Copies of this chain bind each other. A is one copy, B any other.
Amino acid sequence: MKKIMNKPKDFVQETLEGIQFAYSDKLKFLDKDRRILVSAFPEKKGKVGIVTAGGSGHLPVFLGYVGKGMLDACVVGNVFASPSASKMAEAIRACDFGAGVLCLYGNYGGDHLNFSMAMEDVAFDEIDTIAIQVKDDVASSADPEKRRGVAGMVFAFKIAGAAAERMYSLTEVAAVTQKALDSIRSIGFALSPCILPEVGTPGFTIPEGKMELGMGIHGEPGISVIDQMDADTLAGTLLQKLLEDMPLQAGDTAAVMVNGLGATSLEELFILYRAVHRRLEDLGVSVYMPHIGEFATSMEMAGASLTLMKLDEELKGLMAAEAVTPFYTAANK
């Protein structure tokens, strides 16, 4: 296993410790077990808190977006595993600045169950909460309600965090975040697997010359195993899957994310982005704030995902607002 680590069982804790050493100006541990990271920026009384949670192995997702203008807290689970409900409740309590807390997380069974319990728990303390699940992966189900959350959640974190900074109420933050999510679609593909540190061997293989379209960020099976295609054809295929589900027309504006899953080079991501950009331009769609890089990974998996978010004026403004986190910085425009 070609991984830089110490004992596999310490993989998550040591990752978190490294992050905390590096970014102590932006985030800090809340709990003694060091599984809850909260913003190190001064609390803003009356601001809605934004809390997420999820398994490890997806950096910068999730905790890399804790700071100012995005998330107030993130609860961290083991690799590809949900953290506990009690830790989520602790994070929610810490992020109630008097205006309630939005729980914003990927649509995965464990995360949903645990957040539901945590929200029941904090209700006894009279903390208002609203839960929103990210369900952007069009490949994961034909039913929009059953879809998994993938890289599109980073756009949702940005919108929710910016709305909270503008002192929207909890209902308003939830409404604009849901509006954003209704306009976000993603699809990914994998070229090679990743290895769980505590397992040591890949959970699946993808033969040379093949790729898996629609594979999830934990290696969930995709739509189909297909022949590797060139970047331009691939861009067309990915875009088609997204636009079938959420049509865009000439005059529309969209944020675009080309997200590397881990082992794919930046050069390749830009070759893919080039093709996406050209096709959108051909359709008369304007690209706003393109995001190309690693935003939501599966450790050393090779492959990428494409996310589109259709924008109105409100969403454009929230995307452009200031954010300062370890892995996402936006200057106020």
On A, residues with C-beta under 8 Å from B are 2-7, 11, 14-19, 21-22, 56-57, 59-60, 191-192, 194, 208, 228, 230-232, 234, 262-274, 277-278, 287, 290, 292, 294, 297, 299-300, 302, 304, 324, 329, 331
B56, B57, B292, B302: which contacts A22 (Cβ < 8 A)? B292
Q: Please, how many angstroms separate the alpha-carbon atoms of A3 and B260 in the complex?
A: 12
Q: Are A271 and B60 in contact (CB under 8 A)?
A: no
Main secondary structure of the interface of A (DSSP, over half): mixed
Chain B, residue nearest A12 (CB): B267
Chain B, residue nearest A210 (CB): B2
Can you list 11 A-B contacts with CB-CB less than 8 angstroms, sorted by A residue number? A4-B271, A4-B272, A5-B271, A14-B271, A15-B271, A16-B270, A18-B273, A21-B290, A59-B270, A300-B302, A329-B331
**How near does chain B come to A306, taking the closest CB pair, in angstroms?**
11
What are the residues of chain B within 8 A of A191 when measuring CB–CB?
Answer: 2, 4
Would A57 and B15 be within 8 Å (CB), given that A21-B277, A21-B290 are in contact? Answer: no
What are the residues of chain B within 8 A of A304 when measuring CB–CB?
Answer: 4
Q: Are A267 and B22 in contact (CB under 8 A)?
A: no
Q: Which 9 pairs show the lowest CB-CB distances between chains A and B? A: A18-B270, A18-B274, A263-B263, A59-B266, A4-B268, A2-B191, A265-B299, A21-B277, A18-B273
Chain B, residue nearest A21 (CB): B277
Q: Are B263 and A22 in contact (CB under 8 A)?
A: no
Q: Please, how many angstroms separate the alpha-carbon atoms of A11 and B231 in the complex?
A: 10
What are the residues of chain B within 8 A of A300 when measuring CB–CB?
Answer: 263-265, 302
**How near does chain B come to A104, taking the closest CB pair, in angstroms?**
21
15 more A-B residue pairs beyond the given contacts A14-B271, A21-B277, with a C-beta to C-beta distance below 8 A? A3-B268, A4-B264, A5-B271, A6-B271, A21-B274, A21-B278, A21-B290, A22-B270, A57-B265, A57-B267, A59-B267, A262-B265, A266-B297, A267-B299, A329-B329
